[in-house]
Amino acid sequence: MSESLKAVKGMNDILPPESARWEWFEATVRRVMQGYAYQNIRTPLVEPTPLFVRGLGEVTDIVEKEMYSFEDKLNGDQLTLRPEGTAGVVRAVNEHSFLYDGAKRLFYIGAMFRHERPQKGRYRQFHQVGVEALGFPGPDIDAEVILMARTLWRELGLTDVRLEINSLGQPAERQAHRAALIAYFEAHADQLDEDAKRRLYSNPLRILDTKNPAMQALVEGAPKLLAHLGEASLAHLEGVKAALDAVGQPYTINPRLVRGMDYYNLTVFEWVTDRLGAQGTVCAGGRYDGLIEQIGGKSAPAVGWGMGIERVLALLEDGGVAVPPVVPDVYAVVPDAVAAPQVIAALEALRALGVRVQMHAGGKEGQGSFKSQFKKADASGARHALVFGADELAQGMVAVKPLRDAGAEQVLRPLADLSAWGPDLRQAGAEA
């Protein structure tokens, strides 16, 4: 036997019944997005490498060490599997002059790729839901996107996710803070790790985003960007806070919250849980007013977030949140394979009426006994079995046998008149 092939490390298969949880999650996301009038956008998984280098910043974890970049063997193009969604959305918006007739609210769901050390809540192919509100300058839209995540937690039945916010101000304010930051880290040079030393002059703010536990105390004592914010930036932050207060959403101001990409300004935020160990950030985002212009578009304000689907699902699982199972309405028991064509015709007609049908399939040798077929009917979760016995079929009838209601009687139904009784087999709420 040849050696069996395995999935790439850090990239996961999602099989049933686990995939049902994903589908339920995605359906919930789409419902919430509609509730806020956000429209779906789909961009390629592969983008030109310079998009991310220019968009995210050269001195960031992603660009320095996490991107799957490669050369297209056929034409030499430098390409990268997208590590995040915002840069691609902005590229698409620019390319199609999508803001020409006004601001837009967009969302996406899809795979992202980062070469990280795989561990619980951290994978090499992972999935994000993201929202991007483009063309809106005010704190009202910052609050809106933050509250969309809150609505999603509620719809999913998730509790204990808390909100942290901060303001990164504007570039000029960060410039003033930068000098203070460099002076502080220079004074503690002996405590800097390799990453920090390398970033001290190229991107000192990034040091605040360190994951190194040994650096936490040092970072804790660093000069705060908040202290360097001018009136306009502070007013923007107050605007966001006022909206959160108005709906009673608690938050903490975390002055060390800087986020992993360079494109952010003003509001940044994270939804965090204590239940996933070191991978506690389930949703993160902020305002990125400079990015559209930076990657070649006409300057426009923007704000958004990305949410790690694996982390949200891990939280749901950890919290014992039950996912409504998807089961067929009926299971078709077919005692004799000879009847298959007639059965298939009847089942197709039933499905056209909106009934969910699982057909027993076997063929000449594999049809299985009556008893084993009923076992499968039971296991399918269907409420009824349709029994296509030879005698009944000869009379143009089928037996409808209740599987879940003890005491309910089996009845015979005419196949010629499917539309009269078929729809009754649909389970309540199954149409949704």
Among the listed ranges 119-127, 166-174, 346-354, 358-366, the one in contact with ligand ATP (CB under 6 A) is 119-127
- Out of 57, 139, 169, 260, the residue judged to bind ligand ATP by CB under 6 A: 260
Rounded Cα–Cα distance for residues 81 and 47 (Å): 7
Binding residues for ligand ATP restricted to 66-95, rule: CB under 6 A: 84
Rounded to the nearest whole angstrom, what is the least distance from the CB of residue 69 to ligand ATP in the complex?
Answer: 16
Answer yes or no: are the C-beta atoms of 397 and 418 closer than 8 Å: no
Sign of CA dihedral 246, 249, 254, 258: negative
Determine, following the binding rule CB under 6 A, whether residue 205 of this chain makes contact with ligand ATP: no
Output 38 or 126, the one with its CB closest to ligand ATP: 126
Among the listed ranges 87-95, 117-125, 225-233, 367-375, the one in contact with ligand ATP (CB under 6 A) is 117-125
- Residue (of 185, 116, 121, 187) closest to 195 by Cα position: 185
**Rounded to 5 degrees, what are φ and ψ at 122?**
-140, 115
- Out of 167, 233, 281, 367, the residue judged to bind ligand ATP by CB under 6 A: 281
Among the listed ranges 165-173, 303-311, 320-328, 352-360, the one in contact with ligand ATP (CB under 6 A) is 303-311
Output 195 or 329, the one with its CB closest to ligand ATP: 195
- Out of 122, 275, 376, 426, the residue judged to bind ligand ATP by CB under 6 A: 122
Output 80 or 373, the one with its CB closest to ligand ATP: 80
- Out of 308, 328, 368, 422, the residue judged to bind ligand ATP by CB under 6 A: 308
Determine, following the binding rule CB under 6 A, whether residue 279 of this chain makes contact with ligand ATP: yes
Rounded Cα–Cα distance for residues 309 and 106 (Å): 18
**Cα separations in angstroms, 129 against 3, 113, 270, 312, 390:** 36, 14, 14, 10, 51
Determine, following the binding rule CB under 6 A, whether residue 289 of this chain makes contact with ligand ATP: no
Output 88 or 308, the one with its CB closest to ligand ATP: 308
Among the listed ranges 37-45, 236-244, 280-288, 401-409, the one in contact with ligand ATP (CB under 6 A) is 280-288
Determine, following the binding rule CB under 6 A, whether residue 116 of this chain makes contact with ligand ATP: yes
Output 84 or 195, the one with its CB closest to ligand ATP: 84
Binding residues for ligand ATP restricted to 310-339, rule: CB under 6 A: 310-311
Among the listed ranges 115-123, 180-188, 353-361, 362-370, the one in contact with ligand ATP (CB under 6 A) is 115-123
Rounded Cα–Cα distance for residues 304 and 306 (Å): 7
Query: Which residues is 270 bridged to in the sheet?
Result: 164, 284
Structure tokens of 340?
């298959």
Rounded to the nearest whole angstrom, what is the least distance from the CB of residue 130 to ligand ATP in the complex?
Answer: 8
Determine, following the binding rule CB under 6 A, whether residue 284 of this chain makes contact with ligand ATP: yes
Determine, following the binding rule CB under 6 A, whether residue 126 of this chain makes contact with ligand ATP: yes
Three-state DSSP at 401 gives strand
Residues in Cβ contact with 331 at an 8 Å cutoff, skipping those fewer than 6 apart:
357, 358, 360, 376, 377, 380, 382, 384, 385, 386, 403
3-state secondary structure 5-46: CCCCCCCCCCCCCHHHHHHHHHHHHHHHHHHCCCEECCCCCE
**Cα separations in angstroms, 284 against 22, 211, 352, 418:** 20, 16, 43, 52
Output 128 or 267, the one with its CB closest to ligand ATP: 128
Q: Name the pairing type of β-strands 302-308 and 125-134.
A: antiparallel
- Out of 128, 167, 267, 373, the residue judged to bind ligand ATP by CB under 6 A: 128
Determine, following the binding rule CB under 6 A, whether residue 233 of this chain makes contact with ligand ATP: no
**Cα separations in angstroms, 268 against 60, 309, 371:** 17, 20, 61
DSSP single-letter state for residue 353: T
**Cα separations in angstroms, 241 against 93, 185, 418:** 29, 31, 59
Output 123 or 185, the one with its CB closest to ligand ATP: 123
Determine, following the binding rule CB under 6 A, whether residue 195 of this chain makes contact with ligand ATP: no
- Residue (of 249, 312, 319, 243) closest to 284 by Cα position: 312
Rounded to the nearest whole angstrom, what is the least distance from the CB of residue 296 to ligand ATP in the complex?
Answer: 22
Among the listed ranges 113-121, 133-141, 323-331, 411-419, the one in contact with ligand ATP (CB under 6 A) is 113-121
Rounded to the nearest whole angstrom, what is the least distance from the CB of residue 159 to ligand ATP in the complex?
Answer: 18
Nearest to ligand ATP by Cβ — which residue?
308
Determine, following the binding rule CB under 6 A, whether residue 114 of this chain makes contact with ligand ATP: yes
Answer yes or no: are the C-beta atoms of 255 and 224 closer than 8 Å: yes
User: Tokens 């014992």 sit at which residue?
Assistant: 320
Q: Which residues bind ligand ATP (CB under 6 A)?
A: 84, 114, 116, 121-123, 126, 128, 260, 279, 281-284, 306, 308, 310-311
